[in-house]
């Protein structure tokens, strides 16, 4: 995968950096795995805006992704590597030996024609899914479950990965992309490899219009709003706005919002790396 800087033929292209998409093998998705997406524009059922800075964007369809990988022991062939407008990572279309087709999150290095498996007795190769207890120490993993059978909920974005640190009884210690070390049940599944499209972080929109194509509206600074619209709004001239806080009045920048009595706190061995 690589990126390309466009020639400045227009002001909008002067700083734009685009993905080469050299890993993509087709631009036609599998129709049987598409679903419609209802767009809310950030409004609730009464028409009131409950989420700011959402709306517009190009029309798109959802790709149904198999996060559970529960077809154990049945070999699947990678048919295509595709772009997914709903996520930063690329996706891969698998065709199982029994004829069923499913989309999965593609790992870096996954190629068309490759055979992938899921289950207990599987070799730890790129794209294969297995319980954490069967994955060798120090392995790079992604698409991790938090509860057995739940399906992958962590480490799914482009270029992200986690690493197995140690195994302690029925738990496995995993170092997450944030730097947090967490205990996860050894029976939970994970996929071998780093999530694809690691160059996603290098992309530059180049112009405001491209951000609107993605469904994001302009983000307005809190200090320039009116007092009725934000706790940091109002004041004469360039007022500081006071202590940084959200629209609902919750302090930001250092204020801890995680509950001290949360049940899963006992599974966190080491907190994530925070800015000093």
219 in a domain, yes or no? no
216 in a domain, yes or no? no
Structurally, how many domains does the chain consist of? 2
Confidence of residue 276 (pLDDT cuts 50, 70, 90): low
Give the mean pLDDT of 156-183: 96
Whether residues 188 and 237 share a domain: the answer is no
168 in a domain, yes or no? yes
Predicted pLDDT at 133: 95
Confidence of residue 241 (pLDDT cuts 50, 70, 90): confident
Whether residues 10 and 122 share a domain: the answer is yes
Range of the domain at 26: 3-200
| pLDDT at residue 105 greater than cutoff 80 | yes
Closest CA to 175 of 184, 188, 162: 162
Predicted pLDDT at 1: 65
Token pair for 112: 């068309």
Give the mean pLDDT of 52-65: 96
Whether residues 192 and 229 share a domain: the answer is no
Helices marked H in 166-240 — which ranges? 208-213
Confidence of residue 237 (pLDDT cuts 50, 70, 90): confident
Whether residues 195 and 274 share a domain: the answer is no
Contacts of 236 (CB under 8 A, 6+ apart): none
Which domain CATH number covers 234?
4.10.950.10
Q: Are 186 and 172 in contact (CB under 8 A)?
A: yes
207 in a domain, yes or no? no
Q: Measured in Å, how far apart are the chain's first and last C-alpha atoms?
A: 34
Q: Are 79 and 100 in contact (CB under 8 A)?
A: no
Q: Which residues pair with 189 in a beta bridge?
A: 131
Rounded to whole angstroms, the Cα distance separating 273 from 252 reads 17
Q: Which residues pair with 96 in a beta bridge?
A: 76
pLDDT digits (tens, 9 = 90+) for 204-236: 999 999 999 999 999 999 999 999 999 999 998
Among 200, 233, 259, give the residue marking a domain's end.
200
Token pair for 118: 């899921």
209 in a domain, yes or no? no
pLDDT digits (tens, 9 = 90+) for 28-53: 999 999 999 999 999 999 999 999 99
pLDDT digits (tens, 9 = 90+) for 148-168: 999 999 999 999 999 999 999
Predicted pLDDT at 240: 87
Which domain CATH number covers 88?
2.40.50.140
Confidence of residue 275 (pLDDT cuts 50, 70, 90): low
The pairing of beta strand 189-192 with beta strand 268-270: unpaired
Token pair for 214: 């993605």
- Dihedral sign of CA atoms 195, 65, 182, 164 in order: negative
Whether residues 98 and 134 share a domain: the answer is yes
Whether residues 38 and 146 share a domain: the answer is yes
Tallying the residues shown for the chain, one arrives at: 276
Among 166, 200, 234, give the residue marking a domain's end.
200
Among 167, 200, 233, give the residue marking a domain's end.
200
268 in a domain, yes or no? yes
208 in a domain, yes or no? no
205 in a domain, yes or no? no
CA distances from 14 to 17, 112, 202 (A): 9, 35, 15
Whether residues 140 and 77 share a domain: the answer is yes
Whether residues 72 and 141 share a domain: the answer is yes
Rounded to whole angstroms, the Cα distance separating 164 from 94 reads 26
Whether residues 8 and 140 share a domain: the answer is yes
Whether residues 16 and 94 share a domain: the answer is yes
Whether residues 99 and 50 share a domain: the answer is yes
Whether residues 83 and 136 share a domain: the answer is yes
């Amino acid at each position: 995968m690589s990126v390309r800087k466009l020639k400045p033929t227009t002001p909008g292209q002067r700083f734009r950096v685009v993905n080469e998409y050299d890993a993509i093998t087709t631009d036609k998705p599998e129709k049987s795995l598409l679903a419609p997406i209802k767009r809310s524009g950030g409004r609730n059922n009464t028409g009131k805006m409950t989420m700011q800075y959402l709306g517009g964007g190009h029309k798109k369809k959802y790709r149904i992704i198999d996060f559970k990988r529960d077809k154990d022991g049945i070999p699947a062939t990678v048919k295509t590597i595709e772009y997914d407008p709903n996520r930063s990572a690329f996706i891969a279309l698998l065709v199982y030996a029994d004829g069923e087709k499913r989309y999965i999150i593609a790992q870096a290095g996954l190629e068309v024609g490759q055979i992938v498996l899921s289950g207990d007795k599987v070799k730890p190769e790129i794209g294969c899914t297995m319980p954490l207890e069967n994955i060798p120490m120090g392995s790079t993993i992604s698409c991790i479950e938090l509860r057995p059978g739940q399906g992958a909920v962590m480490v799914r974005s482009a270029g992200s990965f986690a690493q197995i640190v140690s195994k302690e009884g029925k738990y496995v210690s995993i170092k997450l992309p944030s730097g947090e070390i967490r205990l996860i049940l050894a029976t939970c599944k994970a996929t071998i490899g780093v999530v694809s499209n690691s160059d996603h972080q290098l992309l530059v929109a180049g112009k405001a219009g491209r951000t609107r194509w993605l469904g994001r509206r302009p983000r307005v600074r809190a200090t320039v709003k009116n007092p009725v619209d934000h706790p940091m709004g109002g004041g004469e001239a360039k007022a500081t706005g006071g202590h940084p806080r959200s629209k609902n009045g919750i302090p930001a920048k250092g204020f801890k919002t995680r509950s001290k009595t949360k049940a899963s706190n006992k599974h966190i061995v080491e907190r994530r790396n925070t800015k000093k």
